[in-house]
Chains A and B, each alone.
Chain A
């Protein structure tokens, strides 16, 4: 039977709110409940903490406070950035460059704009899961108004050449194409690697607070001074007319505190999760055969490992692990409710079997070495459990004329 230990290895899906963050936000539900747009004491009390949080978020990414727009999260940030720029610049051009491995919220907006008459170039990635700068350069057209390429991928963690694309964009703009904008979805990268909008050279950058040990329902879009976006929420003056709606003060306070802690603790957290991740990967390598690591092994986020387990399907493995107290996620189609397995794993050239058998393990600041040991104990058994009943595995065993005992390396 499953033990009582629960190990959460799905920090790329969401993180628990840090107790310090929760403590910071609590007064702003009942005691200090004002509307930040009100002129009276209650409103001004809320206004001052919203602006303090804005400074913290700006500081985390090296931006100016008035370049930070608070909104509901990463998906809204991507919608506002991409559709907002596309609508604002449509008289200058209707061509957008993106990649094949963007988050579904970026893909969704691009698909929607394509249906409305925009032209979209979706850059390939190669086996390492990284976009090539020369592909960006050759995709550029006189009517290109936006490049949107993520800072780091949500499934395989690969870090994209955003700084290089930023340099290219500056070069193209100074050569006369003034209306070219550059957006990056930094939802997965923030709090895990250093993010600085000056170094990256982006005009817009999306952040979600719940990947940063703050609650769900809050996020931000960095909009560089001088860059306009057509608001997608209208009917209020909030956020300098860029996002109408009463500010979610408790969430914003939490986001500010989480951003402050992330800035102070970034190096420590990154070192901690990368140590756990590396120990985990070494352990899996020595205990389980027939696995494939997905994505570039060095240019990737420190907390994430994506592994395809041959002969089996990811959701079955996910359920087996869940019953042993280990929470992960999978690129298999079953989980998403579609028939097609992960487009990201397919984009790096893996076949359907490997895409269906991919599992994402994502570590967080509160994971421990004991957590890694627990996973390394239950994972080989779970894989073996499923392979034992897999006709693909049985076939491979007979092909190799080996017994199952020889296929599994005893731990």
Chain B
């Protein structure tokens, strides 16, 4: 499957690159199989994600999914952000080849890492949700 125009646009013109001054949440995950790394920086206040930024090293899918997730979560509640799934990220980049689905999974793991490690109640909620699946 060739990459979509949206996908290539996220790679060539990534949105929300990098850290910023008032970021108060940080998440980082590495795919152990290929070494791809994603970092997310968030500004969270009163249950809302006001701003998001990312850094990525790895294949284009990792970059595109990192860029896409920052767009998906900006101005969302934490609850809505935690509900983002792989299909939503894939749709945001105009579709992912199936062998690249792991990049969407990495973006979600990184987001969960950023949102949950500073807030025990959210982490417990995520774990409860994972258990219920």
Contact = CB atoms under 8 A, between A and B. Distances in A.
Interface residues of B, number: 24
A233 interface: no
A352 B36 CA distance: 11
A392 B38 CA distance: 11
A316 B49 CA distance: 28
B55 interface: yes
B112 interface: no
SS class of chain A's interface: helix, strand, loop or mixed?
A: helix
B60 A315 contact: yes
Contact of A388 (B17, B39, B66): B17
B133 interface: no
A334 interface: yes
Contacts of B33: 339
A389 B60 contact: no
B3 A390 contact: no
Interface in A366-411: 385-386, 388-392, 394
B94 interface: no
B60 A316 contact: yes
Of B12, B37, B61, chain A has the most CB atoms within 10 Å of the CB of: B12
A285 B55 CA distance: 26
Contacts of B34: 333, 339
A193 interface: no
A313 interface: yes
B110 to A, nearest CB: 11
A108 B89 CA distance: 37
A323 interface: yes
Interface string B56-75: 11111101001000000000
A392 B59 contact: no
B123 interface: no
Contact of A352 (B35, B60, B99): B35
A184 interface: no
Contacts of A337: 99
Contact of B12 (A320, A356, A391): A320
B55 A389 contact: yes
Contact of B60 (A333, A334, A390, A392): A334
Contact of A391 (B8, B14, B37, B59): B37
